[in-house]
């Protein structure tokens, strides 16, 4: 590997490389060496930008968490428009895209990463926790708009939707879940709530 060559947006390139390795080879293959090779840089470059490999992985997960938090605002803004099941199905398809599913596996696989995430204020298994919070926030907004029954138990319904989605669609090798399958699952879970 040549030295002294300036790499633009090295953090972004390393994070993108980690996602590619994670998708292609799984969480057990995600090492600093694999990321550096995928990014086309020396291993030391990663360690110049991050305290250690778990800090790097925490940034990878936290980037996805921030994306889910942004998606939450967009989803809640859609409350009162469109079809409730369609809005939820779209959000759940995003949540169960392969990188996010692989990150959930990574978090459960690495004790050091979970420790770093706890230090960053993240409880449970990010990004599953944020995905559930996103769905709950949307359900509350829809209940307040009158499109869900007043007695809908959002605290049960949100994790039920995410849990069912995880069981049915969490496959890091298969690509995003099919829209029709997600829509059917959402409609089934929501039956009687809309």
Give me the domains of the chain, ranges plus CATH numbers.
Answer: 7-49 (1.10.10.60), 62-190 (1.10.357)
**Separation of CA 61 from chain center:** 8
pLDDT band of residue 7 (cuts 50, 70, 90) is low
Give residue-wise pLDDT tens across range 23-37. 999 999 999 999 999
Residue pair 65/26 in contact (Cβ under 8 Å)? The answer is no
pLDDT band of residue 176 (cuts 50, 70, 90) is confident
Q: How far is residue 145's CA from residue 163's CA, in Å, rounded to a whole number?
A: 25
Residue 1 is predicted with a pLDDT of 43
Q: How far is residue 181's CA from residue 74's CA, in Å, rounded to a whole number?
A: 23
Q: Is 148 exposed, middle or buried (0-12, 13-18, 19+ CB in 10 A)?
A: buried
Supply the mean pLDDT for the chain.
92
Residue 133 is predicted with a pLDDT of 97
Q: Is the pLDDT of residue 67 over 80?
A: yes
88's CB contacts (< 8 A; 6+ apart) are 135, 138, 161, 186, 190
Mean per-residue pLDDT for 182-187?
96
Tokens 């059917």 map to which residue?
184
């Amino acid at each position: 590997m040549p030295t002294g060559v300036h790499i633009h947006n090295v953090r972004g390139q390393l994070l993108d490389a980690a996602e590619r390795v994670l998708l292609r080879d799984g969480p057990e293959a995600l090492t600093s060496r694999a990321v550096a090779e995928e990014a086309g840089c020396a291993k030391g470059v990663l360690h110049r930008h991050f305290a250690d490999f778990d800090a790097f992985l925490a940034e990878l997960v936290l980037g996805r968490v921030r994306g889910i938090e942004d998606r939450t605002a967009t989803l809640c803004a859609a409350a009162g428009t469109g079809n409730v099941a369609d809005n939820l199905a779209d959000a759940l398809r995003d949540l169960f895209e392969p990188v996010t599913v692989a990150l959930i596996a990574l978090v459960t696989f690495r004790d050091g990463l979970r420790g770093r995430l706890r230090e960053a204020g993240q409880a449970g298994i990010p990004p599953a926790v944020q995905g559930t919070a996103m769905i709950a926030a949307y359900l509350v907004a829809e209940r307040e708009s009158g499109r869900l029954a007043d007695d809908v138990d959002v605290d049960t319904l949100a994790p039920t939707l995410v849990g069912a989605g995880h069981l049915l669609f969490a496959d890091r090798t298969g690509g995003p879940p099919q829209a029709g399958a997600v829509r059917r699952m959402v409609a089934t879970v929501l039956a009687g709530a809309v």
